[in-house]
Chain A
Amino acid sequence: MDFQYEFVLSTLPQLMQGVKLTIHITVYGLLGGMALGVLTGLILAYRIPVLNYVGAVYVWIIRGTPIVVQAMFVYFALPLAMGIRMTGVYAAILVLAINAGAYIAEIVRGAVLSINKGYVDAGLALGLSRFQVTRYIVGPLAFRRMIPPLGNQFIIGLKDTSLFIVIGVGELTRQGQEIMASSFRALEVWTAVALIYLVLTTVLALSLRWLERRMKII
């Protein structure tokens, strides 16, 4: 086996271009996913009339179809069907947000429903509005319960950006693929790419651990 470290070093600048894009898509995609997921999760948990059904259909469709197919649909099918055209990066962010949002909605719903109803009663009995009870009591308690499953979802989201190779987005995996195609050094390229993903997911996992510890109630 002939592993060329110098070759790996020479590819780093190009791989870092990919890392930047991977982080870019992950951050915006997951922020969007959080917004969508929290909104949908609350709608489902509180069974808001009508919207409740819209949310359930959204979760059903997104969880029931592969993210690669969703990416292809947005990037290749939407322009044909409705004339909506966007760059690969926008499509990637949109798909990640919609996809993660469906899973996050279920995380949020579960966490909200797990909070003891006694705290809601206590809040209402003080004269707080339903919104205040959610904002100041149920929300902070539910958020703590969400951190571990959210961490899971964020890591899945980060790794799922590699699937956007199918719509030609120059993220990390795509950069690896391109270096491979011109150099045929599969061992070096995929080892380097895998290690970089591992570093990214480790940083993410450790940050969430830190947040979990910081938010811990005595």
Chain B
Amino acid sequence: MKIVECKKVCKSFGDSQVLHDIDLSINTGEVVVVLGPSGSGKSTLLRCINVLETITSGDLLVDGKSVVDPGTDLRHIRQEAGMVFQQFNLFPQMTALENVAFGPRKVRGTDKKEASDQAMELLTKVGLAERAHYHPSQLSGGQQQRVAIARALAVKPKLMLFDEPTSALDPELKGEVLSVMRSLAEEGMTMIVVSHEIRFALNVGNRLIFMDNGSVVHDGDPRELYENPPTERLRDFLHAIQ
């Protein structure tokens, strides 16, 4: 079943076109890793999927609902597509637990006690139960990112979008975030991950997309693309990020 469907999606910021006629569909259960040089449009594509950016032309369907259809409730799309950011963006005035419980309380109308219990379960799942009452500023980057993953999961999305989730982390903190993402993938969550973690792409991903200059250049099996890059461009890029 298609969860995301891009049909000739174009996106421009003023005069500069960032996405060129993207045609792409992603099925339920897929773990798609998106690679590409900076400025290739990877993050913009993710932001278009949960409508943090509005596409300029074409059509984009999430869970069967078009982002350009005026009848679509954009909040519904955003609830179905959880997002994890490079800079975590945890709400600094709330504790870890409050951050995670916040979405369900405000978006799904879950009562305080129930939202809190659910949040605690999710924090346990990402290994941070004992840090539930800490504020973001008291947590390491890796811990903040794991809380951010729990926060996104709390609204029970059908799809998770990761925008360079480990790029802001020290090398030794990347592992804890990647292992949480790995177990999420093993549970069958549909994931689109913009990342240069090639090992994650090879071991966890079941589809690799290479973007360059706002277009999808390659789309295929991670191991095949990695072992036999069809173009010079991809070979150079893979070489550069190792």
Q: CB within 8 Å of B: which residues of A?
A: 116, 118-119, 121-129, 132, 136-137, 140-141, 144, 217-218
Q: Within 8 Å of chain A (Cβ to Cβ): is B174?
A: no
Q: Residue of A at shortest CB range from B104?
A: A126
Q: Within 8 Å of chain A (Cβ to Cβ): is B76?
A: yes
- CB B22 to nearest CB in A, in angstroms, measures 20
- CB B124 to nearest CB in A, in angstroms, measures 20
* B75 with A125: CB separation less than 8 A: no
A132→B109 CA distance, assembly (Å): 13
Q: Within 8 Å of chain A (Cβ to Cβ): is B137?
A: yes
Q: Residue of B at shortest CB range from A116?
A: B89
Q: Within 8 Å of chain A (Cβ to Cβ): is B91?
A: yes
User: Chain B residues with Cβ under 8 A from A126's Cβ?
Assistant: 78-79, 82, 102-103, 106-107, 151-152, 155
A121→B93 CA distance, assembly (Å): 16
Q: Within 8 Å of chain A (Cβ to Cβ): is B50?
A: yes
Q: Residue of A at shortest CB range from B135?
A: A218
User: Chain B residues with Cβ under 8 A from A116's Cβ?
Assistant: 89
User: Chain B residues with Cβ under 8 A from A124's Cβ?
Assistant: 52, 78
- CB B83 to nearest CB in A, in angstroms, measures 4
List residues 12-53 of chain B with CB under 8 A from any CB of chain A.
50, 52
User: Chain A residues with Cβ under 8 A from B81's Cβ?
Assistant: 125
Q: Within 8 Å of chain A (Cβ to Cβ): is B220?
A: no
User: Chain B residues with Cβ under 8 A from A122's Cβ?
Assistant: 83, 85, 89-91, 148, 151
List residues 132-178 of chain B with CB under 8 A from any CB of chain A.
135, 137-138, 148, 151-152, 155
9 more A-B residue pairs beyond the given contacts A140-B93, A217-B92, with a C-beta to C-beta distance below 8 A = A118-B89, A121-B83, A122-B91, A122-B151, A125-B78, A125-B81, A126-B155, A132-B106, A136-B102
Name the interface size band of chain B: 20 to 34
* A141 with B93: CB separation less than 8 A: yes
* B137 with A218: CB separation less than 8 A: yes
A132→B103 CA distance, assembly (Å): 11
* A217 with B78: CB separation less than 8 A: no
User: Chain B residues with Cβ under 8 A from A123's Cβ?
Assistant: 91
* A128 with B106: CB separation less than 8 A: yes
Q: A141-B93, A217-B92, A217-B135 are in contact. Are A127 and B155 (CB under 8 A)?
A: yes
* B93 with A127: CB separation less than 8 A: no
* A127 with B91: CB separation less than 8 A: no
Q: Within 8 Å of chain A (Cβ to Cβ): is B87?
A: yes
A56→B105 CA distance, assembly (Å): 37
Partner of B52, one of A125, A128, A140: A125
* B135 with A127: CB separation less than 8 A: no
14 contacts across the A-B interface (CB closer than 8 A): A122-B91, A125-B52, A126-B152, A126-B155, A127-B79, A127-B103, A127-B107, A127-B155, A128-B103, A129-B75, A137-B91, A218-B135, A218-B137, A218-B138
Q: Residue of A at shortest CB range from B76?
A: A127
> In the complex, which of the residues A126, A132, A218 has the most CB atoms of chain B within 10 Å of its own CB atom?
A126
List residues 64-118 of chain B with CB under 8 A from any CB of chain A.
75-76, 78-79, 81-83, 85, 87, 89-93, 102-103, 106-107
- CB A189 to nearest CB in B, in angstroms, measures 48
- CB B118 to nearest CB in A, in angstroms, measures 14
* A128 with B93: CB separation less than 8 A: no
User: Chain B residues with Cβ under 8 A from A118's Cβ?
Assistant: 85, 87, 89
User: Chain A residues with Cβ under 8 A from B151's Cβ?
Assistant: 122, 126
> In the complex, which of the residues B76, B89, B103, B137 has the most CB atoms of chain A within 10 Å of its own CB atom?
B89
* B138 with A119: CB separation less than 8 A: no
